[in-house]
């Protein structure tokens, strides 16, 4: 019998919705429950591509819009061998942002259709679960550190939110919306419950490719 694989779980949402906190807590809780789980954040700013992205987000560097979109995608692709290896070893991989953020943020700039934005990420490992932490841009703006990076304005985040809603219409993906205005603890409990159910459901299913 083939080894049971881990689940690929993506956390998505506007900036400051609580993805990093919930991703960290989810991995800690899964490990405490005896599961093998790892956390990955995109962009991963530790690689050469990631450092370039980081300097762009911090407004130290300006890059043309198509270029930065492709760099974000490249940053995900450079981790694909490791993601697949972990999943096949039975490790659940929780990603803080994934291809959906890339598409939502670039398409929010205008002059970019969703289809073009998706193309560089076609074939990435398909998440078994996409948890969308829903929070209004107004509520997000009231949270700590909002505004430090390039995309953190309420008007832009509103456009990002609309792009996410368009992406959620894709019924081939397992989107689950959770209310990110809840307390950290209540939200964590809900996310952990959904994640564990998904892990159980997909452990014997083959890993699929995104948008294929």
Domain segments of the chain as ranges: 8-205
* Residue among 176, 181, 201 at smallest CA distance from 191: 176
Tell me the C-alpha distance between 100 and 154, whole Å: 19
Residue 1: the pLDDT is: 43
* Residue among 8, 39, 23 at smallest CA distance from 180: 23
| Residue whose structure tokens are 């219409």 | 169
Both tokens assigned to 203? 């452990």
Both tokens assigned to 199? 């892990």
| pTM score, whole prediction | 0.94
Residue 203 zone, left/alpha/beta (φ > 0; ψ -120 to 50; rest): alpha
Q: Using CA atoms of 193, 194, 196, 197 in order, give the dihedral in degrees to the nearest 10.
A: 110
- Per-residue pLDDT of 90-129, as tens digits, reads 999 999 999 999 999 999 998 999 999 999 999 999 999 9
Tell me the C-alpha distance between 127 and 203, whole Å: 13
Residue 2: the pLDDT is: 56
Residue 148: the pLDDT is: 60
Strands of the chain (E only): list them: 8-12, 37-41, 92-96, 129-134, 175-179
- Per-residue pLDDT of 67-97, as tens digits, reads 999 999 999 999 999 999 999 999 999 999 9
Q: Under CATH, what is the fold of the domain 8-205?
A: Rossmann fold (3.40.50)
Residue 145: the pLDDT is: 58
Q: Are 191 and 94 in contact (CB under 8 A)?
A: no
Low-confidence residues of the chain: pLDDT under 70: 1-2, 141, 143-149, 151-152
Distance of CA 57 to the CA centre of its chain: 17
Tell me the C-alpha distance between 166 and 175, whole Å: 12
Q: Are 207 and 84 in contact (CB under 8 A)?
A: yes
């Amino acid at each position: 019998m083939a080894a049971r694989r881990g689940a690929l779980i993506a956390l998505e949402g506007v900036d400051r919705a609580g993805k990093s906190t919930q991703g960290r807590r989810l991995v800690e809780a899964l490990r405490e429950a005896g599961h093998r789980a790892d956390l990955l954040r995109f962009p991963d700013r530790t690689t050469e591509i990631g450092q370039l992205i980081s300097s762009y987000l911090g407004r130290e560097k300006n890059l043309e819009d198509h270029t930065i979109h492709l760099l974000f995608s490249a940053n995900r692709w450079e981790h694909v061998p490791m993601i697949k290896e972990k999943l096949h070893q039975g490790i659940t991989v929780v990603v803080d942002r994934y291809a959906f953020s890339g598409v939502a943020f670039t398409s929010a700039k205008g002059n970019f259709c969703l289809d073009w934005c998706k193309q560089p990420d076609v074939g990435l490992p398909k998440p078994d679960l996409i948890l969308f932490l829903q929070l209004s841009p107004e509520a997000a703006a009231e949270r700590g550190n909002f505004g430090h990076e390039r995309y953190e304005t309420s008007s832009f985040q509103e456009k990002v939110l609309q792009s996410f809603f368009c992406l959620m219409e894709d019924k081939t993906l397992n989107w689950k919306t959770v209310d990110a205005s809840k307390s950290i603890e209540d939200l964590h409990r809900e996310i952990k419950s959904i994640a564990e159910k998904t892990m159980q459901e997909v452990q014997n299913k083959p890993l699929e490719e995104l948008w294929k």
